[in-house]
Amino acid sequence: LPSLCPPGRLPFELCQRFVEEIVLVSDEQIKAAVSTLYRSGLVVEPSGCAAFAAIVNNKIPNMEAKNTVCILSGGNVGKAELANFPD
């Protein structure tokens, strides 16, 4: 349909408008975050805890001066896969 926009256009426009900064976390930091959350009783898939990994690895400056919400999402990870994550 001619009224549909190209894939990715809307998310890109929303990011341009609302995202102030992007931080990077490593795969190892994400795996450690998954393990930490699992030991706390939460099953969160790796992509769903990237924000948590950024917080616990001090990737976001001046956190103590801000009100912060961290959204954890996705439970599409099984016990067999969790065995590959660090303790």
Q: Can you spell out the DSSP letters for 31-82? A: HHHHHHHHHTT----GGGGHHHHHHHTT-STTGGGS------------HHHH
- Mean model confidence pLDDT for the chain: 87
pLDDT tens, position by position, 54-71: 999 999 888 888 888 999
Question: What secondary structure letter does DSSP report for 86?
Answer: -
> Is residue 14 scored above 80 in pLDDT?
yes
Gap between the Cα atoms of 24 and 31, Å rounded = 14
